[in-house]
Structure 1
Amino acid sequence: MSHPVPIYSTLADWIQQAAIPFSLDSSETFSAAVDRLIASLDDSVELLGFGEALHGGEEILMLRNQLFKYLVKKYGYSAIAIESSFPRAHIVNEYVAGRGPASYEDIQEAGFSHGFGRLEANRELVKWMREYNADPSHQIKIRFYGFDSPSEMMYADSPRHLLHFVLDYLTSVDSASGRYHHEQIDPLLGNDAEWENPAAAMDPTRSVGLSSNANALRIETEDLISEINERRPELVDKTSDDQYLKAVQYATVARQLLNYHAVSARNSDDRLVRLLGIRDAMMADNLTYIVSRERSRGKVLAFAHNSHLKRGKTHMQLGPYALKWWPAGSHLYEMFGPRYAIISSGVGVSEENGIGLPQSGTLEALLTGLPEPALFIPTHKGQGLPASEIAALPTRLGSIKNPTYFPFTSEDFTDFDWLVILDSTTYGRGGPQLQ
């Protein structure tokens, strides 16, 4: 659907005319605001990204939950994918489907990475999804995915789980071939703790990614992938297209993870940027797989930090290192075009997260000047907005407690389709203690 782009003389004019205020406590204003947002998007949108300004913003998580529920009930969304380990999320999806453990406590650690399973908002989302699927009147059952790389904050996983998933799949069809690949791969896997050594994050000499066993494992993984590709018609016939494509994706992620470990072992100036770039490329590949899997069922909401979903390059200062790389959103925009749309979130103040009042003239200060507690506002990809005023926008100070908080910048006008801002947020229930 094509929409004419209005012209605004100032940012104040843009806010006054384009802002759509709402309250999380008012289902009426919230629904009306989301309806206007969805109506503005291209009809072809298959993947809607919703970014968080920081990890652990309680009201942002609650907004995500309300948004997904509404998108499911009114707009045919069939899945949510969050910034959590791709292979681990299979455990959560089994729970959502009514299979596996009956208690959320039994999956909250194994089913999530980064400790996200301990966030109460995630618990509430997953339990609602399970209840929704248990209702026989809902013919299309909703799914839960993780799309992050199989890694934690300071280390990457062993490839064992991914490769064994693929080997188990192949063995279910051809026990002789599965046994052969097991005999080639298992001796090379070694000790998981060696792959997952946190010291390797900053010290390449502590990584096993270029050891003789790791190099041999990369070759054996390629051989395994090659056989699965060659035997696609047979494997699909004996299992299903869905099971086959899932095995292929696990194999692909295993290959990417081995490449990640190899780069981790290299002592080079661009090592950290390469690692960050590989992680985001994996995110984009996982989301592409997820969208393809859901295409016949519905649309997908992706939830992650703003920095992963944006169209342009991501910037981060890590100690003395100024890092820039292409995030998942930039890959997705190249692949999906108008089929990918993105909402970026911001926050005015958060005492618990160490975020003070926004400085005068910053975008957060301008957007929180209205009496309503929250608002959506379209960026029009920067079109029709005062370019000189945007370029002169100062960036507010960051957080003194939560290093994952990134303020709005002038780039957000072109990196996102919509902004949503909350006047305030608390810290997520169940999140790790902030220093």
Structure 2
Amino acid sequence: MVTGITDAVQAVDAAAVMGLLPARPRLLALGEPTHGEDVLLDVRNDLFRALVEEDGRQTITIESDCMAGLLVDDYVTSGTGTLDEVMERGFSHGWGASAANRELVRWMRARNEGRPASEHVRFAGFDGPLEITEAASPRQALTALHRCLADQVGAYSLPCTAETLDRLLGADDRWTEPAAMMNPSRSVGRSADARELRVLADELVALLGTLAPDLAATGDGWDRARLYGRTAIGLLRYHYWMADDSPARLARLAGARDQMMAENLLALAERGDVFVHAHNGHLQRAKSSMRMGEQRVEWWSAGALVSTRLGPEYAFLATGLGTIRHHGVDVPPGDTLEGLLYALPEERFFVDPRRLAAAFGDAAPALRASPYFGYAPLDPGHLPGMDGIVFVRDVPRP
């Protein structure tokens, strides 16, 4: 089987990737099968730099808080703040501690220095303000949207005052209550205040839509106002489902998160061509799933939602890997996708998934078992939905 794909293996570079795709995608997404390994982010960084220089792609967006990401974008475009500050405050999920993420931000700032704004590379987070155990208060997004609209039309034209929002929001810690993730009764998401906030958020977003001709001319101001609106609506929806006690709760939470991701990606695509990086599970075209206790949860990923809207203007490159020995992931069995790729001598390479499928012929590859909960092997059933596969042979020990 190795002989069947050896001649299809290419270096992980912009020319190889773009040459394999049938059309130039608006959103080019690179997934990773596990988080927290800088070698995978180094591959991402190298490919992004090549896409900037050779393909003209100017925006990178990653699986991080969309609101916090504005701080990173301000730094790389205008030098606002310091590198230490944006690494501490501009990333969620602990990504700011990553040396590879730090190098990405440093390179983007250095490249933009002295260039006109039209040539700047841009940064964005496309995840909601969500962590594993909690969701943020909608305060930041709601008040920013309210302030933007008040500046445009005057506070008297808005459906509520800033004081009303503040009263309904209350203390932020009632929104970020960690126990609410496992105990719906601890969530504020279906309280009378939350219900009223959902109505007001909808009215504010509707008003924003009526001002599109005025605000569109402001460029980034318009983009940010829309981001505030999407985030406020998305967070209030997420909190609503955190308070649900039905069997649908976990699936709706996962779906709500990926819906927020998809809406942010589509908005970025309106601005120009984007390079996307996140977990394979958020970017794949196939339905996502995971087991939580005794329950199997299924939902459509952000990639599936975006692909439905953009068609060939969305491309998905999955990343597979051979070993993560410090997490107990050893050499993959030869009858799996990873096992076939691990038999090749290259450390990092790019391959056409169609050639990989043909190499197996009628013998369907096995799904690799993962001894580490944080690593998701490539699913052979997902091959038809992949536009390319990046393979990293061994993840070094930290």
| Shorter-chain TM-score tier | over 0.9
1:279 aligns with 2:257: yes
Aligned partners of 2:324 and 2:394 also within 8 Å:
yes
1:432 maps to which residue? none
Distance change (3 Å), C-alpha of 1:178 and 1:244: farther
Question: Aligned partners of 1:139 and 1:163: how far apart in 2?
Answer: 30
1:433 maps to which residue? none
Question: Aligned partners of 2:397 and 2:213: how far apart in 1?
Answer: 50
1:17 aligns with 2:33: no
1:330 maps to which residue? 304
Give 1:129 shift: 0.2
Secondary structure of 1:132's aligned partner = helix
Q: Alignment partner for residue 41 of structure 2, among 55, 61, 65?
A: 61
User: How do 1:8-407 and structure 2 match up within 5 A?
Assistant: 11-20=1-10, 22=11, 30-31=12-13, 34-101=14-81, 103-136=82-115, 140-177=119-156, 180-236=160-216, 240-293=218-271, 295=272, 299-380=273-354, 388-390=362-364, 393-400=365-372, 403-407=373-377
Q: Which amino acid aligns with 1:190?
A: G
Q: Which amino acid aligns with 2:87?
A: Q
Aligned partners of 2:79 and 2:109 also within 8 Å:
no
Give 1:128 shift: 0.3
User: Could you list the runs of 5+ residues in structure 1 that have no partner in the other structure?
Assistant: 1-10, 23-29, 429-435
Secondary structure of 2:28's aligned partner = strand
1:415 maps to which residue? 385
Give 1:355 shift: 1.2
TM-score under structure 2 normalisation? 0.94
Question: Aligned partners of 1:129 and 1:86: how far apart in 2?
Answer: 18
Aligned partners of 2:38 and 2:99 also within 8 Å:
no
Distance change (3 Å), C-alpha of 1:210 and 1:360: same
TM-score under structure 1 normalisation? 0.86
Distance change (3 Å), C-alpha of 1:36 and 1:63: same
Question: Aligned partners of 1:423 and 1:168: how far apart in 2?
Answer: 50
Give 1:174 shift: 3.1
User: Could you list the runs of 5+ residues in structure 2 that have no partner in the other structure?
Assistant: none
Distance change (3 Å), C-alpha of 1:287 and 1:192: same
Question: Aligned partners of 2:309 and 2:48: how far apart in 1?
Answer: 24
Give 1:395 shift: 1.9
Secondary structure of 1:347's aligned partner = strand
Aligned partners of 1:281 and 1:331 also within 8 Å:
yes
Give 1:263 shift: 1.0
- Cα displacement string for residues 65-116 of structure 1 (whole angstroms, at most 9, x for unaligned residues): 1000010011001000000011110001111113321x22112232111011
Identity across aligned pairs (percent)?
A: 35
Give 1:382 shift: 8.3
Aligned partners of 1:381 and 1:416 also within 8 Å:
no
Question: Aligned partners of 1:332 and 1:381: how far apart in 2?
Answer: 25
Question: Aligned partners of 2:141 and 2:379: how far apart in 1?
Answer: 38
Secondary structure of 1:109's aligned partner = helix
Question: Aligned partners of 2:101 and 2:9: how far apart in 1?
Answer: 29
Question: Aligned partners of 2:124 and 2:51: how far apart in 1?
Answer: 16
Aligned residues: 397
RMSD: 2.0
Question: Aligned partners of 2:221 and 2:80: how far apart in 1?
Answer: 18
